[in-house]
Amino acid sequence: MGTDAAMPTLAVWKFASCDGCQLSLLDCEDELLAVADRVRIAHFLEASRQVEPGPYDVSLVEGSITTADDVARIHRVREMSRTLVTIGACATAGGVQALRNFADVDEFRSVVYARPEYVSTLATSTPIAAHVDVDYELHGCPIDRRQLLEVITALLVGRRPNIPAHSVCFECKQRGNVCVVVAHGTPCLGPVTHAGCGAICPAYQRGCYGCFGPMETPNGTAQAGLLRATGMSEADMVRAYRTYNAGAPAFIELSRITVGPPQPEGST
C-alpha cells in the first residue's frame, strides 16, 4: 500500500459472496505489487487490517444485497466512492444466492438453520445496481483478472475500460476452439453468454454454463432451438439459466422463452 497522498485510493467491499472476485485481485501475483505502487489501497479487509476513511476514488464492490443492513451499507459505500465498479455475478446479478428469489426464503431458512429466528435476511438477493448507481460492471463468477487489471489501469489514466460485450462464441473463435455443439452435440450457453473468460469451458471440452451472465443482445429463440437439438429437456434449460446469474433480467427472460411454444406430449 502506498502512502503518497497524491495517489488515487482504491477500496474493496464485500456483500453476500464467496470472496472469489476480490481474491482475483490478490491472484494477480505478477501485478499486485505494481498496482500497490500506483494506487493507495485504502480499504480492503481481506488483505489489510489498516483502514483509511473515505472518500475513495474507486470502489470495487463484490457480492449481492441480502440483508436490510447491507441495503444501508451500500448507500454509504456509494456516497464515499467517486467511481463504483461492481465485480462478479453476485454484484451484477444477485449471484447463485438469488435462487431464493424464485423460492420461499422462510422455507430456505428452516432447511438450513435449526433456529431460523436467529437469522435475519431479505427474501431476495439483488444486484448492487438495484440499490445505487453503478459506473462499471464486470461480469463473471468469478471475474477475469485480466479484465480487472484493465479496469484498474483504465481508471488510473482516466479512460473508459475496454470491456467487450459480445458472446463467448466470439472468444471460442479467437482461441481456436472446436465448437462443442457442432462437434459433439454438447449443450452450450456460449451464444448468449457475455465474453470475458476467454472461452475456458469449450477449451476443456465442456459446454459454457453461463457464468459470465447474458451478453448484450442474446437471441433467446435461436438458443432455445440449439439447446433442444442437443436433447436438453425444458427443465434442464430453465435450470441452466437459473444458476449463477439467475437474477439477470435477460436470463430470466431466456428461461421463459425456453419453455416456448407447447411441445408435443412426451417431448420433455
- Which residues contact ligand SF4 by CB under 6 A? 17-18, 20-21, 62, 88-90, 95, 141-142, 168, 193, 197, 199-201, 208-212
In the list ligand SF4, another protein, none, the entry touching 199 (Cβ below 5 to 8 angstroms by class) is ligand SF4
Residue 18: Cβ-neighbour burial (10 angstroms; 0-12, 13-18, 19+):
middle
Instruction: Identify any residues that bridge with 10 across adjacent strands, giving them in sequence order.
Output: 41, 58
Give Cβ neighbours of residue 67 (< 8 Å, ≥ 6 apart): 16, 120, 121, 122
| 229 binding another protein? (CB under 8 A) | no
Q: How far is the CB of 244 from ligand SF4 (least distance, A)?
A: 6
Judged by CB under 8 A, the residue of 49, 160, 261, 267 near another protein is: 49
Q: Which three cell numbers stand for residue 212?
A: 459470465
In the list another protein, ligand SF4, none, the entry touching 50 (Cβ below 5 to 8 angstroms by class) is another protein
Can you state the angle between helices 234-241 and 249-259, rounded to 10 degrees?
A: 180
Single out the segment in contact with another protein by CB under 8 A; choices: 79-87, 111-119, 164-172, 223-231: 111-119
230-249: which residues touch another protein (CB under 8 A)?
236, 239, 243-244
Structural contact between residues 35 and 153, judged by C-beta atoms closer than 8 angstroms? no
Can you state the angle between helices 220-229 and 234-241, rounded to 10 degrees?
A: 130
Peptide bond into 261 cis (omega under 30): no
Compute and round to an integer the Cα radius of gyration of the chain: 20
d(CA 206, CA 99): 24
| 150 binding another protein? (CB under 8 A) | no
In the list ligand SF4, another protein, none, the entry touching 168 (Cβ below 5 to 8 angstroms by class) is ligand SF4
- Give the Å distances, CA to CA, from 143 to 133, 175, 197: 20, 19, 8
Q: Which is nearer to ligand SF4, 7 or 240 (CB)?
A: 240
In the list another protein, ligand SF4, none, the entry touching 216 (Cβ below 5 to 8 angstroms by class) is none
Judged by CB under 8 A, the residue of 113, 165, 174, 217 near another protein is: 113
Query: Site residues (CB under 8 A) for another protein?
Result: 1, 14-24, 26-27, 29-30, 32-33, 36, 41, 45-51, 66-67, 70, 95-97, 99-100, 103, 105, 107-109, 111-115, 118-119, 121, 141-142, 197, 200-201, 203-206, 209, 211, 236, 239, 243-244
